Structure 1
Amino acid sequence: MTDLTRLTAADLAAKIKSKEVSAVEVAQAHLDRIEAVDPRVHAFLHVDREGALAAAARVDSGEVDGPLAGVPVAVKDVIATRGVPTTAASKILEGWRPPYSATIVERLQAAGTVMLGKTNMDEFAMGSSTEYSAYGPTNNPWDLGRIPGGSGGGSAAAIAAYEAPLAIGTDTGGSIRQPGAVTGTVGAKPTYGGTSRYGLIAFSSSLDTPGPCARTVEDAALLHAVIGGHDPRDSTSIPEPVPDVVGAARLGATGDLTGVRLGLVKEFAGDGSEPGVAAAFRESIEALVKLGAEVVEVSCPHFQYALPAYYLIAPSECSSNLARFDGVRYGLRVGDDGNRSLEEVMSLTRDAGFGPEVKRRIILGTYALSSGYYDAYYGQAQKVRTLITRDFQKAFEQVDVLVSPTTPFVAFPFGSRTSDPYQMYLADLFTIPTNLYGGPAISVPCGLAEGLPVGFQVMAPTMADDRMYRVAAALESAVGTLTPPAL
């Protein structure tokens, strides 16, 4: 009998539509898989068994239909889901059940997908390893002693461990792509504004971008098409239709890249990548050339300043956004014994509710926004952001897409970087420029180094998401997908 958890989302959707299998059977198979392996992986913070089976039954009854009807999906725990615990992996929101759902969740439900539950993450999406979850780390299915990336390590690990065929992540500085790279899965960051942020617990409002996680490029494109598009409830939403990402993925899968120009970023060619990562990347470039692509070296001189600019802009916006967690309106409330002032209660609540990385970024951001320092820090960082955007625009006058490794190294052991925040931040060295620019980017597996997955990143101009899917699918057709060791 076919193991339903090993099928692609596209195959599952086809089998459910033809009634070869029922949506309830598919949901049950994935719930059983979660029960069997998640105690070792810890990809999920909450499994909504009853809700998943009820949603699957609605598909089988014909009440709900759509391109992914009956296909299970996991949702990162930073996305509000009505009546389902949504904590952002923080003690300050422990047990909170939103009275509303994010636009993305509504679109998933309208498309007939079956939500399995909420996935683990770095607290408030701040981290690169999922070690900063208040509820314990997620383990990488390739090696349970190594990190699954972050901040969306739970979504990527759930995909890699065959607990779900699809998942939703969010990408502020690489939080979809970097976990995809180190777990051997596909992670796509759409154009900023191409997917709605309504109902997303905000970290950095000018950077946060929800997007799809999957095991194949086509599956990621199918999910992207469902969740994307204009949302009037999000003031940053782009009032344009989603590009034909599914058609582009299927075109790329034919393995023809004739006439496509790939830009190799000169500033990414230094000694920042581990030898095995660099070797896998070079082999992938050679494979794409064999498919007809042309390679051009381009210079993006301000990319070298992306990391410091990001770590001023994102914490500054985080400092502002997280001010709402005050112990007054919702969430945790500590020290309210009737003898303390409101300020004391707020201080005690935030001290108890926020973890070390969140506190670090709030302090950094508050300092950067403070009187006398705003122009020197936040203002200067925004100017650098403009220069990085111009680098992208000039590069895309010469090439169709830019390519790079997704992350400089493979999954590292737990605890090996937590004592040095800068080393942790380097995980996003190649992903952050795209967030500052606002364009789309995707990570697709391109091989192994030291027995662990390596990711290949494709970056495209804003609202040209279809280009990245075409190139990523072509590479996938050449190198295949990766299968982690059996759990």
Structure 2
Amino acid sequence: MTDLTDLGVAAIRDGVRAGTFTAREVAEGFIANVAAAKTLNAFLVETPEHALAAADAADAARAAGEAPKPLAGVPIGMKDLFCTKGVPATAASHILEGFTPPYESTVSGNLWNAGAGMLGKLNMDQFAMGSSNETSAFGNVISPWRRSDGGNAAMAPGGSSGGSSAAIAARLCPAATGTDTGGSIRQPAAFTGISGIKPTYGRCSRWGVIAFSSSLDQAGPMARDVRDCAIMLEAMSGFDAKDATSLDLPVPAWEAGLSSNLKGKRIGIPKEYRVDDMPAEIEALWQQGIDWLKDAGAEIVEVSLPHTKYALPAYYIIAPAEASSNLARYDGVRYGLRDLPEGANLQDMYAATRADGFGDEVKRRIMIGTYVLSAGFYDAYFTQASKIRTLIARDFEQAWATCDLLLTPTAPSAAFALGEKSADPIAMYLNDVFTVPSSLAGLPAMSVPGGLDGQGLPLGLQIIGKPLDEQGVLNAGLALEQRAGFVARAERWW
């Protein structure tokens, strides 16, 4: 029999329903893989008891002839940004060490109600700030991929959802939750050869998700393929009255609507995404993606998004500004770390707690955010960045007059080695050059694996869609997936 941990969400769901294997057998297989992969540092907390309890409930329901839940028998990983009742949630930061939420985030609650079980909480960049998973207070996540030149350099799994991407690629879980503020689902998916979708802003509730940048943060699924992402997204989405930005709309049947026939669809190729010094391999993959979509029946048109070059600087003003505000609540008073030097007053405690609790990248962004929000600079920075954001959204709106979807690379390179870019924040920030514009506009966007670079590392293609057109994004992703035929996986070394 196939190793059950080689199966994705749809195959596990269907196999459990058919009685081909039990949910407990699936859970035990993944629990064993998690226990054997400590080297990757993908999990911060392991919860085998949660996964087994959900599996036993699925098996008992099937034995009783009850209608199966959508994710019955499927164990998943949960990014540590989601609050999970009775299980620590740290956002990979020392400042939240010891915090155990007494409540469940809406997204995780939706998944448990759909029958999924939790294998554990996944490592990430601290407070979701990073593109390589090197800012976690609990150590780097290491990608299961290695360069084919025989070097043993530890590779970055992308960020901030690096624990999620590494765990899926290493077969530690069939799917996981991620969050995407400026590319934190799509870039790690591209780096590790998996799929991931950021839905339209508001599709998934932000309630119970530890905040980074409230106008940008959006939860989404990461999985081995497009169908699995569609299944997960259906379970995660839905209106939530506890989130003021939640969309009060029915959840479409995205899996049932999957079709790789793109006849009649127009795919836009934004000319501004042909950035200087783009590697030839990225350019070649992009052209290959264009050819694949033509083969699926789509018409290719060139479009212009003239304000693209301002997206990254605008993002790195808006996101830190919102982070500065959101992270002000971590002061050592009510929960998490409290650093109280002898003889200290309240102000001293605040300062000591935040100095010890936050990592360097988080401190950098808080300081940038505080600066751009200060009285003398608010109009010069934050107001201008907000205007640029409006112009970027307008660029997309005008592009939709001539196309239905956009095709771009996901990232400007394949994965890099841990430590290669950590000394240069600007080089690290440039990893988000293709993903940030759609985040600023709140659009659905997805990364699917398209091939390998010369070093045998995965490369991703990105589909961007109109607001609420997750179906179009998933369908174009499916067309790419079928034509790419990507089956490469990391050879086990851990």
Q: Distance in 1 between matches of 2:257 and 2:278?
A: 30
Provide the residue aligned with 1:31 in structure 2. 31
Alignment of 1:8-87 (within 5 A): 8-36=8-36, 38-62=37-61, 65-87=68-90
Per-residue CA deviations over 1:120-175 (Å, capped at 9, x if unaligned) read 10000000000000001111111261100000000011110011111000000000
Provide the residue aligned with 2:451 in structure 1. 447
Match of 1:245 among 219, 240, 254: 254
Deviation of residue 283 (structure 1)? 1.1
1:446–1:454 contact (8 Å) kept in structure 2? yes
CA pair 126-64 structure 1, distance change in 2 beyond 3 A: farther
Deviation of residue 284 (structure 1)? 1.7
Q: CA RMSD in A?
A: 1.2
Q: Which amino acid aligns with 1:242?
A: V
SS in 1 for 2:95: helix
1:64–1:112 contact (8 Å) kept in structure 2? no
Relative to structure 2, which stretch is displaced further, 60-69 or 122-131? 60-69
Provide the residue aligned with 2:357 in structure 1. 353
Per-residue CA deviations over 1:418-452 (Å, capped at 9, x if unaligned) read 11100000100000001100010000000111211
User: Is 1:458 the counterpart of 2:463 in the alignment?
Assistant: yes
Provide the residue aligned with 1:278 in structure 2. 283
% identical equivalent positions: 50
Match of 1:291 among 293, 296, 302: 296
Provide the residue aligned with 1:467 in structure 2. 472
Give structure 1 stretches of 5+ with no counterpart. Answer: none
Per-residue CA deviations over 1:175-234 (Å, capped at 9, x if unaligned) read 000000010000100000010000000000000000000001000000000011111111
2:292–2:479 contact (8 Å) kept in structure 1? no
SS in 1 for 2:255: helix
Match of 2:124 among 113, 121, 126: 121
Deviation of residue 108 (structure 1)? 0.6
Provide the residue aligned with 2:428 in structure 1. 424
Match of 1:155 among 164, 170, 173: 164
User: Is 1:94 the counterpart of 2:97 in the alignment?
Assistant: yes
Deviation of residue 485 (structure 1)? 2.8
Per-residue CA deviations over 1:344-391 (Å, capped at 9, x if unaligned) read 011000110000000000000000000111111001000000000000
Alignment of 1:32-431 (within 5 A): 32-36=32-36, 38-62=37-61, 65-143=68-146, 145-249=154-258, 251-252=259-260, 256-337=261-342, 339-431=343-435
Provide the residue aligned with 2:150 in structure 1. none
SS in 2 for 1:301: coil
Q: Distance in 1 between matches of 2:305 and 2:244?
A: 30
**Aligned structure 1 segments of 4 or more residues deviating by more than 4 angstroms:** none
Give structure 2 stretches of 5+ with no counterpart. Answer: 147-152
Per-residue CA deviations over 1:89-109 (Å, capped at 9, x if unaligned) read 001111211000100111011
Per-residue CA deviations over 1:388-412 (Å, capped at 9, x if unaligned) read 0000000011101011000000000
2:48–2:118 contact (8 Å) kept in structure 1? no
1:445–1:482 contact (8 Å) kept in structure 2? no
SS in 1 for 2:459: strand
Q: Distance in 2 between matches of 1:93 and 1:65?
A: 37
Q: Distance in 2 between matches of 1:54 and 1:232?
A: 29
Q: Distance in 2 between matches of 1:64 and 1:161?
A: 32
Q: Which amino acid aligns with 1:383?
A: K
Q: Which amino acid aligns with 1:279?
A: A
Deviation of residue 34 (structure 1)? 1.1
